[in-house]
Amino acid sequence: MKKIVIYGVVALVGAFTLSSCNCFKKMAKNTDQISVVANPEVLTLVGNEIVTDVTVVFPEKYYNPKAIVKITPILVFDGGAIEGQPKFLQGDKVKDNYPVISKHNGGVYTQRIAFPWDPKARQCVLELKVEGKCKEGADFVLGGVIPVAEGVNALQENLSYADALLIMPDDFKRVTHESEQVNIMYLVNQSNVRRGELTKEQTKLFEDFIKENQNKDRVTLGNIQAKGYASPEGPEGLNERLSKSRSESGKAAISRELRSLKDLKYDVAAYGEDWEGFKELVEASNLKDKAMIIQVLNMYSSAAQRDAEIKNMSAVFEELKKNILPELRRTQMVATTDIQGKTDEELRAAINSGSDLNVEEALFAATLFDDCAKKAEIYKATANKFNDARAWNNLGVALGHQDKWADAENAFQKATILSSNPALANNLALSAMVQGDLKKAAQYLPTANDHTKGLASINNGKYAEASSNLEGYNKAVADVLNGNLSAAKNALVGNESAKADYLRGVIAAKEGDAVGAATAINKAAAKDPSLRAKAQNDINFKGITL
């Protein structure tokens, strides 16, 4: 950009020298000391704006005390021009409120220049239109145009926003466990099953569950478990024997009721004093001193100590004997089943044939396909059939991966009617960012994940902050924008995608490695041919043969 700056100084001198306004003629002296610098020298896309800072340094004994200068930035590109906000400067003797450039000491001014983003402006020139006058109230006279910077670094557009989209997971289980149980209750210190303890209603439910699952397709019926327990009062050894006797008597009683069923297998186990059950019942009760009882349980690990301390609370212990301890003298008879879900092959076949799947199966089936269009098709059908928030959200994710962001946002909005899952705010922030509505995106950012917040930081020009929140490819983009090329290369290690190869080409170009840049772009274009045309219109590759 040095040549552009020198040319700009010459143009400025010519403008002042040719002006009919006498105060400008004297400003031609020492013009070779004027400095005009754009930082960055290549304009940068930040959010929705093309930005740079332009600094002009005037030497000592240069600026006429009576001069007022108006400097207007203009972005010129094929098919258009955008005029920015002008900047006014004045000499020492001008009675106005503009920044003063001293005749004796010279002066410096810096102007933040920003233009709304227009994709046609990738190849452009930033010019400063210089106008001046020597008297207040007079018209400004055009002095000339200074070219300051060339091209727009639109690397921000290379960000992969879809990488930060969040799926709402399905609840598909490869194996589902179901169970049915019946409790056989006992009197204190007893292990015999009393007449009428097992009612017809109890045993029928238990029996029906076993019958239904004994020979059912995809269902494995486990062994019927007899779990014997004792209430935690009295000698620990007695309670161990009681729980064993209860599990055995419970198994004998239920097996008589199920004698018409063949090939049943039983597991008999004794669990002794049921302190865990005791604690759960106390916590769920309305006992006045339950906090004290829980404290005792937490303080002592010895069953004998616990028993003794609780019995010392005589008033409470009477209530425990009446309402809590009887519930623990039992045998739990438990029947379990393992229900085998559809295999991946069956799910794919069902999708391809249009067979019915439940919502969990359909949501999981979509993950078995790599093609985003196919995923979107499955999620859309699932969303329409079940009106499930997860299906709408995941449809939006699949659409986002296809760069159909307006449609993705519509799907996310439908999901928000049904759910307040934080993934939705995250995804809406991303869709708003991609579509250029940064104000709207900011509304969703507080609950977004770090990846999405990092992308927002890039859109705000905070590249170092963004890098700390990102990883992988998007971190590499932030590091390149921040000038940390070494960190960018490290972030791309192991990424062999076309977009990663393209970014390696940008890094090589910035390092002055024209051969490396061309090699990387050739590699990227072999994977995605559209990237060659993109590179040829990218200011980062100016002067490099691709």
Domains of the chain, by residue range, sit at: 2-153, 175-340, 344-541
Q: What is the mean pLDDT of residues 192-218?
A: 88
Stretch 38-43: mean pLDDT: 89
DSSP conformation letters of 310-376: HHHSHHHHHHHHHHTGGGGSEEEEEEEEEEE---HHHHHHHHHHT----HHHHHHHHTT---HHHHH
Domains 175-340 and 344-541 share a fold: no
pLDDT value at 512 more than 70: yes
Q: What is the pLDDT of residue 60?
A: 87
3-state secondary structure of 529: coil
Q: Which CATH architecture has domain 2-153?
A: Sandwich (2.60)
Residue 251 has pLDDT above 90, yes or no: yes
The answer to whether residue 303 scores a pLDDT higher than 90 is no
pLDDT tens digits, residue range 403-441? 999 999 999 999 999 999 999 999 999 999 999 999 999
Amino acid 64: pLDDT: 86
Q: How many CA atoms lie within 13 A of 189 on its CB side?
A: 4
| CATH assignment of 344-541, among 3.40.50.300, 1.10.3720.10, 1.25.40.10, 3.90.1150.10 | 1.25.40.10
First vs last C-alpha separation in the chain: 22
Question: Who's near 496: CB < 8 A, 6+ residues apart?
Answer: none
Averaged over 138-149, what is the pLDDT?
Answer: 84
358: Cβ contacts below 8 Å, ≥ 6 apart: none
pLDDT above 90 (res 24): no
| Domain 175-340 superfamily per CATH | OmpA-like domain (3.30.1330.60)
Tens of pLDDT along 81-127? 999 999 999 999 998 899 999 999 999 999 999 999 999 999 999 99
The closest alpha carbon to 281, from 236, 329, 320, belongs to 320
Q: What is the pLDDT of residue 304?
A: 87
Among residues 52, 161, 64, 62, which one has the least CA distance to residue 105? 62
Q: What pTM does this model have?
A: 0.75
Distance CA 84, CA 76 (A): 11
